[in-house]
Structure 1
Amino acid sequence: MSCITECAPGPHAFLIVLKVDRFTEHEQAVITKILQYFSEDALKYAVVVFTHGEDLTGGKTIQEFVSKNKNLSDLVKKCGGRCHVFDNKHWNKQQNNYRSNQFQVEDLLNTVDKMVMKNNGGYYTNMVLQEVEEEIKKEEEQIKQSSEKMPQEVIRQQAKANDRFLIQMTGFATGALLGAFLGVPAMIRSTYTTMRTSTELIRLLKYIPAVGMTAAAVVGGGEVAIIAAGALAGVAPAARAGGTVGQDAAKAADTAWGAAKMAAKAVINNTRRTT
């Protein structure tokens, strides 16, 4: 939820970072996951960035390297041809600007600026990010009422750092994910019998991308961060409904982890009652 609140209502640019090396099935799997998580629309806001540019021998450019692999070439094309390389050894200005980090950084930033202009200053967004942005603005309004002279930037930071806000948004994100997932009829019956404990919930969430949903469950320190990136257009209404149910259930939670569990239980019970 920290990740989502920091980039709400959406990021202007994605950097897809790869190493100058063989583009194997592993790298292709990473790209496939990105497309599952964000859809190809995200590539309108993406730049492919390669590291270890010093491994390009014989004066080869990154464009020549990319052209040798069809999958890699297709990816760069989907990103509007935006492709850059960084040398890991040549940190000082070189005689050849192409191998200079100073030049490489400036070149990348110029590409990002041009991309933002091409997108008319727009940013990638989705239902979850939009919902979080609306909630942030509500928090901002409450803070303004008691602190009229506080700078807007400080107000926004306080709104995003509010524990109650994070708990509510965790409930919403968990509910949205499960609501969309349970909206896929073929999955409903098997879900009832497998999702009985928190551990099973985490395991299930990890597999949601395989059925077209976007989720990542990161476990650590006794808490779970549910990061929701989007839903297929056909199940977006179910995701929003689940988000509402999850957010309401999370009102009784004291922690984000508790909010996730309460939201999951509420959405599952609600689905049982309506099917």
Structure 2
Amino acid sequence: MGSCVSVPERRIVILGRKGDGKSSAGNTILGEKVFTPKASGDSVKAICEIRKKRRYGSKITVIESPGFFDTDRDDKEMKSEIIKALVECAQGVDAFVIVLKVGEYTSQEIEVLQRCLKTLKEDVFDHTVILFTFGKQLKDQTIEEFLKANSQLQELVDKCGGRCHVIDNKYWKKRKRGNKSNKVQVKNLLETIAKMRHKNGCFTNELFQKIEIQIQEEIGKMGGENLPPEEKRENAKKNVKEKILVQAAGATTGVLIGALLGACGAVTIILAFLQMTFPIRALLNVAAAVVGVGGAREAETGVTDPEEAEVKTGEKAGGTSTETGEKAGEAVAEAVRAAAAAGGAGIAIQSDD
């Protein structure tokens, strides 16, 4: 996905379903209990937890993303948490770690998994590692033998370049060596991520880069404030998060999660929301990129002529193509929704419930 800002840390985004051990996996990776697991029977945890620690010679940032497979909630809290994850990832992601549990998978579970992953661009898998939890369930099997019995899971691991590890957040805690030691497995996982980053770089996209520009602009506004650089950045990230939450209020949680994971249609839609101050013609071009040249204009205005489309959309925005008030924001949201309805978004992530 191109180069990203060079930072002396590993930024890891943990994805997965409720009940598969995302929080516990984050604790195992960082070597201490910093994430709070939620019982699988409880409601979806609408929290993007971010924890940092230095381990094995690297500063590790673990971001537990809410709701990758559980997008039935569409409230402001959930959106706020996903946007927090987007802002945290502005400098690029070293690895997406998809957490799955060892065990039997129903055909419905496999179908949901495949449907979710089909929304991702192929190059996302160049930055993805599969981490299986509940390793004790393997019994005398190796993880390779377990995968051979499930062709769909094997296919997923193959898509990720064969990068696959297994831990047991409960039973392998105290083992110090061997394959049934979390310490050994986490060290292997971090080595895999380091090799992956060396080969493929870190994951970034136009949306991440735009958010990073906004963060730098916020830092610039602080001028000579006598604050450490890290504290300035944290304050800037909070400001940017609040701005994006307002600008992208019309986006669904599914679209926001798709943007976090690099789904093309979702990235384009969120970029459109963030460019509300652009001239209307620029906004039309963004929408057209989603549904094909001309399609967005026709979907929004009912006409195919570019000049006429711009005039009609300008009228919706209050009579001028550069108005940045509330009416302009509404016009942008309508254009994006029309583009998505026309079939260009391709980011409908379903719940596994």
Shorter-chain TM-score above 0.5 = yes
TM-score normalised by structure 1 residue count? 0.64
Kindly indicate whether residue 135 of structure 2 is the aligned counterpart of residue 53 of structure 1: yes
1:12 Cα deviation after fit: 1.0
Partner of 2:256: 215
Separation in 2 of the partners of 1:262 and 1:66? 53
Kindly indicate whether residue 84 of structure 2 is the aligned counterpart of residue 2 of structure 1: yes
Separation in 1 of the partners of 2:103 and 2:155? 17
Separation in 1 of the partners of 2:141 and 2:183? 19
Partner of 1:112: 193
Of 238, 245, 251, which residue of structure 1 is paired with 2:276?
A: 245
1:127 Cα deviation after fit: 2.7
Cα deviation code 1:8-67 (max 9, x no counterpart): 13211111100101233314413531441x42221111110011111112x211011112
Tell me the secondary structure at the aligned position of residue 99 of structure 1.
coil
Partner of 2:216: 137
Separation in 2 of the partners of 1:42 and 1:158? 29
* Larger fraction in helix: 1
Partner of 1:128: 207
CA contact (8 A) 1:48 1:83 kept: yes
Partner of 1:168: 243
- Note closer, same or farther for the CA distance 1:239–1:6 as it changes in structure 2 (3 Å cut): closer
Partner of 1:17: 99
After superposition, residues 1-275 of structure 1 pair within 5 angstroms as 1-24=83-106, 25-36=108-119, 38-57=120-139, 59-87=140-168, 88-93=170-175, 97-119=178-200, 122-143=201-222, 145-147=223-225, 149-162=226-239, 165-174=240-249, 205=252, 214-216=255-257, 229-232=261-264, 236=268, 240-245=271-276, 265-268=330-333
CA contact (8 A) 1:168 1:247 kept: no
CA contact (8 A) 1:126 1:229 kept: no
CA contact (8 A) 2:98 2:131 kept: yes
Separation in 1 of the partners of 2:105 and 2:208? 32
Q: Which residue identity is paired with 1:33?
A: C
- Note closer, same or farther for the CA distance 1:48–1:271 as it changes in structure 2 (3 Å cut): closer
CA contact (8 A) 1:10 1:124 kept: yes
Q: Give the gaps of 5 or more residues in structure 1.
A: 178-204, 217-225, 249-260
Question: How many residues matched?
Answer: 207
Separation in 1 of the partners of 2:125 and 2:88? 20
TM-score normalised by structure 2 residue count? 0.51
Separation in 2 of the partners of 1:152 and 1:26? 45
1:247 Cα deviation after fit: 8.9
1:239 Cα deviation after fit: 5.7
Tell me the secondary structure at the aligned position of residue 275 of structure 2.
helix
1:90 Cα deviation after fit: 2.3
- Note closer, same or farther for the CA distance 1:247–1:270 as it changes in structure 2 (3 Å cut): same
